[in-house]
Every structure is written in C-alpha cells, then in structure tokens.
Amino acid sequence: MPRRRIVIYGDPVLQKDAESITSISSSIIALAEDMQAAMYAGNGVGLAAPQVGASVRLIVLDPSAGRDPRQRLVVINPEILEMEEEETAEEGCLSIPEFVTDVSRARLIRAIGMTMDGKSVEIEAEGLAARAFQHELDHLNGRLLIDFLNPLQRDIFERKYQQMLSRKRNLL
C-alpha cells in the first residue's frame, strides 16, 4: 500500500515546474519507493514526483507494469537529448482519472539523468517506454495531457470533469 496518494487534476503542484534534486537524501529514496508503490497500485507505467505532491525532478517508469523488474527505472533530474520518429497514440494519466486523449510523441528518445546511487545514466527508449518517459517529463515541467487539447476540446473536458467530480461528491 503506497504511503502517498496520487494528486488529482486541480492541485496546483501539477502545473508548476519541479525543482532539481541536488542531493540524494533518505527522503528522496523514500519518495522514489512511495512513487513506485503508488504507480503499481494505480496500474500505471510511469509516475512523476509532482503526481504525489512532491515538486522535485524525479520519475519512475516500468513499461512492463510490474511484469519485468529489469524494465523498472528511477531517474533523477531527467532530460531528453534526442527525439525521433513521431507517432500518435492514446494516453491516460493517473492524475486525470477516466480521461484519455491522442498525443503525438517521439517513438525513440535518448535521455540522461541520475540513478538513485548518484551515477549518471544515459537511457535509450522506444515505443511505450519512450512515450511514458516524455509524459513523466511533461509532469516535471508542469504540463498535463489536457495541455495538448485545442481550446474547444479543453472546454468540453473541463465541463465533463466538473460533472464527474460532482457525481463523485454526491456518492460520498
């Protein structure tokens, strides 16, 4: 059971730039562990620290959704260096429940960051892993899936999202 809950759309932490991590403390290690637990509990393939309320540049990824521990990745201060071959696919987000939309992203990326033991790492990813990496990096930069919508789509989303929240409040 994760100790931290996933922050839902509307929380300001989701729409601001996250701070770089300057040292790997026990609280950062605990945060990464909590993020992985929350990601798996939510059946996700990636999670960024702002999604659990921590405005720091840390992401966790597992495109296998827990089936292959070798695919698990924790990256501090990730940066994308190269992107190639754009493709469009449907994406969802643990911080915007019940919402999916098509998003164009690079199919191949080359990125850098730091591991939990403080070592520099270079990552080459493709397909779902590349898509998830870009999605989580967007979170670190305060960008959400809804930011890919045009104004009309955004308006429709906002109305439906508020209706969904009202229904959930009425059920409680």
Tens-place pLDDT, residues 43-92: 999 999 999 999 999 999 999 887 888 889 999 999 999 999 999 999 99
Structure tokens at 132: 């998830």
Which helix (DSSP H) or strand (DSSP E) does residue 46 occupy? strand 46-48
Of the candidates 82, 87, 136, 158, the residue annotated as catalytic is 136
Strand partners, 74: 60
Read off the pTM.
0.92
Domain map of the chain by residue range?
A: 12-171
pLDDT (0 to 100) of residue 112: 98
Report domain 12-171's class: alpha beta
**Dist. CA 13–CA 34, nearest whole Å:** 17
Convert the pLDDT of each residue in 129-154 to its tens digit.
999 999 999 999 999 999 999 999 99
**Is residue 136 among the annotated active site residues?**
yes
